[in-house]
Amino acid sequence: MLTLDWPWLLLLLPLPWLVTRYMPPVARQEAALRVPFYQWAGGSASQDKVRHSRGYAARITLWLLWLAVLLSAARPLWVGPPQPQTLSGRDLLLAVDISGSMGTQDMVLDDAAVDRLTVVKQVLADFIARRPGDRLGLILFGSQAYVQVPLTFDHHALSQLLREAQIGFAGKNTAIGDAIGLSIKKLQDRPQQSRVLILLTDGANTGGSVEPLDAASMAAEENIRTYTLGVGAEEMLVGGLFGARRVNPSADLDEETLKTIANTTGGRYFRARNTQELQQIYLILDQLEPSQQEAQLIRPRATLFHWPLGFALLLSLFWALARVVQVLLQQRRDRARSGQGVAERMP
C-alpha cells in the first residue's frame, strides 16, 4: 500500500493562498520607462480573455508545483506485503588475514594459479550468501587489525567490501592476537550464546601487541567460539637458476597455535590446502553453526519521493520555458506596435 511518513506536511497546502490573502501587498515601483503609445495601442477584449486564461493556467501550474513539492517532502512510501525473514540471532565475525604472504600464488581457481586471498574471497562470498539470518562482520588484519564492516545484516555491502580488500592494506606482518582482541571488543556486548569468530590466516603471529594465546584465553572467558583456518598449499614449484624445485609455501604456518586457540575457545581448527578443502570447511561450519532458527515477518519499504520531486522539476522547467516564450512574444508584439504607431504619426 501507499503511505506517507510525514503526512502532516500536507497541512501546508493552503499556505500560498494564506500568504496572498492576508499579507500586505508589495508596493509597486514606478516604471523606469514609459511608452506613450502603449495605452493608445491598448489590447482588445479578445486579448484580455487570452491574458485571463493564461493567468488561470499559471495559477493551476503553480498549485500543482507546490503540491508535488509537499508530497515529496512528506516522504511517500510503498509498503509491500509481509515476507518471512529468517533470523538466527547469531553474531558471526570473519577475521581475514591480508598480510603480504596472502599474495602467494599456490592456489588454483578455475584451472588458473591465483593467490590465496583471491580464493578466500571467492569461497567466503558463497559462505556469506548462505547465511541470510546471521548478523555478520568483517575484520581485516596484517600488522594491525581493523574493522572493515561492523556486525550487520547488509550482506551485500559486506561482500562488496571484502572484494575490495587488497593485500598489504593493513601491513605486511600478521597480528593474529590483535585480530582476536578486536573481535572480543566487538562481540562482548552481544548475547553470549551467539558469539562466533572465524579466523583465517596463512602464517604465524609476527606483529601486534597481544599474544594469540592470551587473546584466546580472553575469548574463552567471553564465551566466543573461535574457529581457526590455516590456508596455503604444502607444495609448489618455484623456478630457479638450476630449474624448477619443489618448496613448501606454508612452512611459516603456525598450526599448533591455531589448534590451541580453537581448543581453548571451544571451536575447531581446519586446514585448507586448496580451494576444494576451503569450500568443504565452510560447509562444515554451516553444520556446526546452523543459520536458520526463527522466522519473523517484515514488510519491504520502497521510497517514492523522487517521483513527485521529478514531476515538480519538470513542471518548473516547463513553467520557466513558458515564461521565456511569453516574454519573447511580448517583446515582438511591442516592436510591431511601436513601428505601427510611428508610421501612423508620420505626415
The more confident residue out of 2 and 140 is: 140
C-alpha grid cell for residue 177?
592476537
**Residue 51, pLDDT score:** 53
Check pLDDT > 80 for residue 344. no
Instruction: Summarize pLDDT for 144-173 with one digit per residue, the tens.
Output: 999 999 999 889 999 999 999 999 889 889
pLDDT of residue 248: 82
Amino acid 346: pLDDT: 55
Q: Give residue-wise pLDDT tens across range 164-216.
A: 999 988 988 999 999 999 999 999 888 777 789 999 999 899 988 999 999 99
Q: Is pLDDT larger for residue 311 or for residue 111?
A: 311
Residues in the chain: 347
* 65-69, 132-136, 260-264: range with lowest mean pLDDT: 132-136
Chain segment 299-337, per-residue pLDDT in tens:
777 888 888 888 989 988 888 888 888 888 878 877 777
Give the pLDDT score at 29: 56
pLDDT of residue 190: 84
Return d(Cα 305, Cα 77) in angstroms, integer: 8
CA distances from 78 to 301, 303, 305, 310 (A): 6, 6, 10, 17
DSSP of 237-297, one letter per residue?
Answer: EE--TTS-EEE-TTTT--HHHHHHHHHHHT--EEEESSHHHHHHHHHHHHHHS----EEEE
pLDDT single digits (tens) 226-275: 999 999 888 776 666 666 677 788 888 999 999 999 999 999 999 998 88
Q: Tell me the C-alpha to C-alpha distance, in Å, between residue 115 and each of 17, 109, 250, 293.
A: 69, 9, 13, 36
More confident residue, 96 or 130: 96
Strand partners, 149: 138
Burial class (CB in 10 A: 0-12, 13-18, 19+), 144: middle
Higher pLDDT residue, 141 or 77?
141
Q: Please list the residues that pair with 195 across neighbouring strands.
A: 91
What is residue 339's predicted lDDT score, i.e. its pLDDT? 65
Position 41 pLDDT exceeds 50: no
Judged on CB neighbours under 10 Å (0-12, 13-18, 19+), 73 is middle
Q: Which has the higher per-residue pLDDT, 326 or 100? A: 100
Task: Work out the mean pLDDT of the chain and round it to a whole number.
Answer: 82
User: Can you give the pLDDT at residue 36?
Assistant: 45
- d(CA 273, CA 107) in angstroms, rounded, equals 8
Residue 16 phi, psi (nearest 5): -60, -40
Do residues 142 and 169 lie in contact, with contact meaning Cβ atoms separated by under 8 Å?
Answer: yes
